[in-house]
Amino acid sequence: MTAVIEARPQLRIGSYAVDPPVVLAPMAGITNVAFRTLCREFGSSTAIYVCEMITARAVVERNEKTLHMMAFGPDESPRSMQLYGVDPKTLGEAVRIIVGEGWADHIDMNLGCPVRKVTRLGGGSALPYKRRLFANIVREMVAAAGEVPVTFKFRIGIDEDHHTYLDTGRIAEAEGAAAVSLHARTAAQLYSGKADWSAITRLKEAVTTIPVLGNGDIFTADDALRMMAETGCDGVVVGRGCLGRPWLFAELSAALRGEPVPEGPALGRVGEILIRHAELLVEHDGHDKAMRDIRKHMAWYFMGFPVGSELRRKFATVSSLDQIRELTAQLDPAAPFPTEAATGPRGRQGSPQAKVSLPDGWLEDPEDDTVPQAADVMHSGG
């Protein structure tokens, strides 16, 4: 049974009307300009598609690799960039540079990354535990951004004993954030288990003057409808559900506008989409890097389809565009989309962490606003 969403005001992020209320989540190694372009070709041009995570320190240092990662399509609007950092001053300076150079129209802040190399430095999903430090960050970023909207994406907390999301939402709201997004898992869960959508409901009840978006376990258009109906959130953020399925944005656009949801593509069409993805990667990164990049997408594109093991192996080791074209010609073009097998969880999940890696003494004083030593890193992309 399809969920019914009560009428609500149109989602706005700053001056941007987001219609339908859908955001592509930033994903390291995934949401480069090639993949974003592909998703936009299927979805609405007025949804938001966020680039990979960019470190504030790399922006300040004008790191060449990072500047390349910050590329946007010529007609991409709004240009949406996610920043990572721990030092309020560095984040503020990065925002001033981005705004001053006209590099982005919307800036999101990463407070959700749960991986060890990030949390052990006090970044990502570890950071909101330090309430004063987080407030300082929001204040610096919003002041530096001027008219450019700044949003914040975070998790429920570090683990079940250290929930932070309600305070995080209230602080972001009080300090001038344009919107907040909640991935309804703790850092300890990584991407395992089920997202707790009831936390999105509670955040929406606590944060009343800016939009609240929900994230976690949206693998179909109906999932998005259910999340909005059950939690009252103002929009949805889609991550792993679109891996190998950029056409999910066409389905989301239709469902959220009350239109018939298109059927999933047959295997021949998937092959065409795969070739288009590879061509866009070559255009952005050059041939060799593009071939290395596209390999990780193969299993996602063919999930559930009748593709033999030998053909799958060849796809996973492709070395040229011509080879991709030759291999796709061997697919059964009429094989229908395997709805049951291909619309469930995909991408990384991992096992829950017994303990989240944190800086020494991190949990002792949530009011301590000291920036952890060596917290600013240059590596963009997660």
Residue 219 — left, alpha, or beta (φ > 0 → left; ψ -120 to 50 → alpha)? alpha
Specify the DSSP class assigned to residue 344: S
Q: Could you say which of 39, 51, 113, 233 is catalytic?
A: 113
How far is the C-alpha of 140 from the C-alpha of 85, rounded, in Å? 12
Query: Does 113 qualify as catalytic in the annotation?
Result: yes
- DSSP E strands in the chain: the ranges are 12-13, 16-17, 22-24, 48-55, 80-84, 106-111, 150-159, 162-163, 179-186, 212-215, 235-238
Phi, psi of 168 (to 5 degrees): -60, -45
The residue written with tokens 């407030």 in the block is: 135
Asked whether 122 and 372 are in contact (CB, 8 A), the reply is yes
3-state secondary structure at position 146: coil
- C-alpha to C-alpha distance for 9 and 134, rounded to whole angstroms: 29
HSE of 106, CA atoms in CB hemisphere, 13 A? 27
H helices present in 175-258, as ranges: 197-206, 221-231, 248-256
The residues assigned a catalytic role are 113
